[in-house]
Structure 1
Amino acid sequence: MPRAADKQLDVLESPSLPNLQLVQAQPEPKEKQYLFRGTAPYRRASIALFLSGFATFSLLYCVQPLMPIFAADFHISPAASSLSLSLSTGFLAFAIFCAAAVSESFGRRSLMFASLLGAALCTIACSLVPSWHALLVIRALEGLLLGGVPAVAMAYLSEEIDPRGLGASMGLYIAGNAFGGMAGRVVTGTLAEFFSWRIALGTLGFLGLAAAVGFFLLLPASRNFTPRRGFDARFHLRAWIGHVSNPALPFLFAIGFLAMGTFVTVYNYIGFRLVLPPYSLNQTELGLIFTVYLFGIAASWIAGMLGDRIGHFVVLPAGIAMAAAGVAATLSSSLPLIILGIVLLTSGFFVAHSVASALVGRLARGTKGHASSLYLLSYYVGSSVAGSAGGYFWSADGWNAVVLFTLALLAVGMIAALVAARLSRR
């Protein structure tokens, strides 16, 4: 009479039970190893991503205050001088799509470090080039390289950070963006005034190098990401289509477009108003307006923590409402009230951007880099399209028309936030 163990073995080896054998052979699913808030690796990752945001946006926007100097030194028109920024942002928007696909094969950390290192070296090279066209070529290359950071950074945070602490971490990353955007404008403008634009760009390039090295040393390696072998165009296309088919995500992409479009439009044309009587501000005084980015830094961080505690879809419409209140306040003829309005707009924008970024990471189903790339594509297209369209409103009826245009954008953004909240609950 066979033993019980032999009977068990006969059952497992029986050809009539192939499915049972497959189940026995399958490995257990790998448990995600998140970085939890309050731990040293979480703090290191947050600081590293802050440095990446600082480097990206300081290197990207450092040429904005230098455009009048470029026009004088290279004997070009103001419109031509603006190519030093518009070429970079244009190639950045294109590169974001490519970066999301490339990072699926090469990894998050390595791609971000290579992008930051290359962009910093490009900025140093810009300080040395003898001709305008050479500077433009390098700036275009720099925008292409910087595309490897924003979408991939958001994907890294979404994959590696515990969802309960994602909002705070994402908020700190967006704060780094704000700080970099301010530093790139204020620092280079100040250095160029006292020394030269070449020294200003060279100094910022070396600061970018230091930030890139700090980023690489601090950021923990990915633990929840598995690179894909080869390049499968159909896989990437399916990933993008899948995110667009997600009910709530397209509305978050729209918020990125509308919020950034509002923010850039106000900053583009408020200077035209303030250089005229009765304000008659000079260029230095206008440049100091960029220091209100400090409020954006604080707002991003606070919004992230509040989103984790009381709900991201509670904080998101509050940020949009704050931005709308700020835009409306700029209708005042009082300069202090106009500055207060810019502060409210800046804070509300960074609240909305920080929370919307975190929500894209939370709601995306797999391939989070692709979802982030779609959000950032909408974000930068909003900057380009709405920022340019605002000029037509300024020419038509001055500041009143600009305010009506931007308030209409924010009204649509508020509707998108409420619809996205309802769809996410379903």
Structure 2
Amino acid sequence: MNGSSAKASTTVTPTINKAARGSVRFRRIKNSIFLSGLSVFAQLYLFQPVLPLLCKEFGVTPAHSSWAVSASTMGMAAGLFIFSFKADAIPRKHLMGFAMLASAVLTLLSVFIHQFELLIAVNFVKGALLSGVTAVALAYLSEEVDGASLGLAISLYLSGNAIGGMAGRIVVMLIAGWADWRWAAAFIGTSSLILGLFFIKRLPASKHFVALPVNVGQKWQQMSSFFRQPVMVLIYFAASLLMGCFVSVYNYTGFRLESPPFSLPHYVIAGIFLMYTIGVLGTMFAGRVSDRIPPAKLIRAFIPVMAAGLLLMLIPQLPGIAAGLGIFTFSFFATHTLASRLISQEAREGKSTATSLYWLFYYAGSSFIGTGTGVILTGWGWPLFIAALLGLVLAGGILVFRAGKPSRVV
């Protein structure tokens, strides 16, 4: 479906000699990319579980404290826009390796920051650096892994994202509760530095990509061609809405659980991030099933499930909130996996540009919706907060259903 303006591509993707499931190269690719997801998402959402602690230390509101997270995701969105022009001029492995190491250094530097505004600024730059991994990881997989194994490879990468997000949040919350959030940041920064070094050593260099000078005019034409493709546009905007909803849930559920009638201690609240395990299952399930069922058809089944999970979170008992959070998380990660694969499939050329735009919308939604819904929670309470999120899911579902119409799918 790409227009003629997208014909000038800087990537070369032959259909032969790609890494197949069971090969040594495939194993090294999937393991290394999995670890990159661990590092990126442990750092990106480092401050999400300690927002209540930031409120107390810096004297800010819940909505204001969420900028510690939103700044990182805004930086990610800004970096993805830049890399949508520059990524194809840099070897994939070099870009991802540098991004992992440099972001780990900034995470370690955040330990010594005592002004909230400076913390926000550092997190913005860190997010921009982390975008160097996100901008090309899916493009790298699409170029280097054969079609029969691509669904598995993508699902493993996104599982690394989920596990990194989960483990990072749990470890940070436990360390912050027992010691201080600065010790937690030091642990995540050190771990990410080690993962970055291992990644550089183990990830195979690209075989099906040639770095060439970027023609900015051609890139604008390429981006314009994607915005003329209905499926791409619909999935971009749906990703923005659904990701904003997802981040809102995990930003503010901790505030709900630490308040009456629950009044839970930090080490119990940390358990909510174990729900990311269910998200991993959603990713793996969607990745495997999408090798047999068209993603455009499969994705439509998960939106009503997301809405059902949110409704369960209105129940004023802990089992109801836990069940709702689990269902919501499973279906969100399944939807995200399928949307990622749709974008990769639709972009016959310029895959890094297409995926960078996807992630740009994804993290823009995370930043603005993730902070904006905090104002609703603070001003009007939990029920209206959930109602607002249901509206976002409904709007995202309409876009997904339109994108999933057979007549619109290649």
Contact 1:124 1:201 in 2 (8 A): yes
Contact 1:275 1:282 in 2 (8 A): yes
Deviations 1:167-189 (A, max 9, x none): 22111111111111122221122
Deviations 1:229-274 (A, max 9, x none): 2x42112111111111123111111221122122122233434443
Instruction: Give the equivalent residue in structure 2 for 1:359.
Output: 342
Tell me the secondary structure at the aligned position of residue 381 of structure 2.
helix
CA distance in 2, matches of 1:274, 1:198: 23
Deviations 1:130-150 (A, max 9, x none): 766654443332122111111
CA distance in 1, matches of 2:26, 2:408: 27
Q: Which moved more, 1:326-335 or 1:363-372?
A: 326-335
Equivalent pairs: percent with the same residue? 34
Instruction: Give the equivalent residue in structure 2 for 1:163.
Output: 147
Confirm whether residue 43 of structure 1 aligns to residue 27 of structure 2: yes
Q: Structure 2 matches for 1:19-38, cutoff 5 A?
A: 32-38=16-22
Instruction: Give the equivalent residue in structure 2 for 1:88.
Output: 72
Instruction: Give the equivalent residue in structure 1 for 2:329.
Output: 346
Q: Structure 2 matches for 1:20-419, cutoff 5 A?
A: 32-70=16-54, 75-78=58-61, 81-129=65-113, 135-229=119-213, 231-394=214-377, 397-419=380-402
Contact 1:100 1:152 in 2 (8 A): no
- Shift, 1:65, TM fit: 3.3
Instruction: Give the equivalent residue in structure 2 for 1:8.
Output: none
Deviations 1:45-100 (A, max 9, x none): 11111111110010111123344545655x55356654433322221110011123
- Shift, 1:110, TM fit: 0.7
Number of residue equivalences: 396
- Shift, 1:190, TM fit: 1.6
- Shift, 1:295, TM fit: 0.8
Q: Which moved more, 1:293-302 or 1:330-339?
A: 330-339
- Shift, 1:129, TM fit: 5.0
CA distance in 2, matches of 1:245, 1:375: 14
Instruction: Report the RMSD for the aligned CA atoms in angstroms.
Output: 2.4
Tell me the secondary structure at the aligned position of residue 21 of structure 2.
coil
Contact 1:248 1:420 in 2 (8 A): yes
Tell me the secondary structure at the aligned position of residue 116 of structure 1.
helix
Q: 1:412 to 1:66 in 2, by over 3 A?
A: closer
Q: 1:30 to 1:378 in 2, by over 3 A?
A: closer
Letter in 2 for 1:53: G
- Shift, 1:154, TM fit: 1.4
Unaligned runs of 5+ in 1: 1-28
Greater RCO (CA < 8 Å, at least 6 residues apart): 2
Q: Which moved more, 1:341-350 or 1:172-181?
A: 172-181
Give the TM-score, by structure 2 length: 0.89
Letter in 1 for 2:48: Q
Contact 1:307 1:314 in 2 (8 A): no
Q: Which moved more, 1:342-351 or 1:141-150?
A: 141-150
Contact 2:72 2:124 in 1 (8 A): yes
Q: Which moved more, 1:412-421 or 1:272-281?
A: 272-281
Q: 1:256 to 1:399 in 2, by over 3 A?
A: same
Deviations 1:388-410 (A, max 9, x none): 34345445653332333222322
